[in-house]
Amino acid sequence: MAAVTLADIVSGDWSLMLDSTAGGGPGSGLGNVVEGLADVDQCIRIILTTPKGTDPFRPTFGCDLWQYLDLPINIATAHIVREVYEAITTWEPRAIVESVTVTPLLDETSQSGAHLNVVIVWQVNLGGAPAVSNTTLITVPQGG
């Protein structure tokens, strides 16, 4: 696959693709970019998966979802929703959060309810016609 050149980028909103957002496995995103809604989605993922205090130049950047690992689901849900709203509102001005839903992940490969499915429905805040998108995180393993 050929790398994307600056001439290939058509959007004002773009960034380098992180491998964690690429579907082709480790290293498959190298040399590619994400543009438009995909760029906003990737930025939201970065914000929500970065613990506060880990960026030395922006100590308040990120989201502290990890703090709610061992809480019961009925208590953790409200805290997770609040953290997601605050983090996106603070660090991603291109997105307006419409809703955050937290549900236990139910599948055969892991202990039922051991992880939480966090779905963020957001609308782009770029001044043109509104476009609604969503970001799904499977994070916050429940500890007990």
Domain boundaries of the chain, sorted by first residue: 1-35, 37-139
pLDDT tens per residue, range 84-104: 999 999 999 989 999 999 988
Domain 37-139 is found in CATH 3.10.450.40: yes
Give SS3 for 87.
helix
- 10-residue block means of pLDDT along the chain (144 residues)? 54 64 56 76 90 94 88 89 95 92 73 75 75 65 44
DSSP string, 37-77: HHHHHHHHHHHHHS-TT-STT-TT-S--GGGGTTS-HHHHH
What H or E segment, with its residue span, contains residue 78? helix 73-91
Q: How much is the pTM?
A: 0.74
- The greatest distance separating any two alpha carbons of the chain, rounded to the nearest whole angstrom, comes to 51
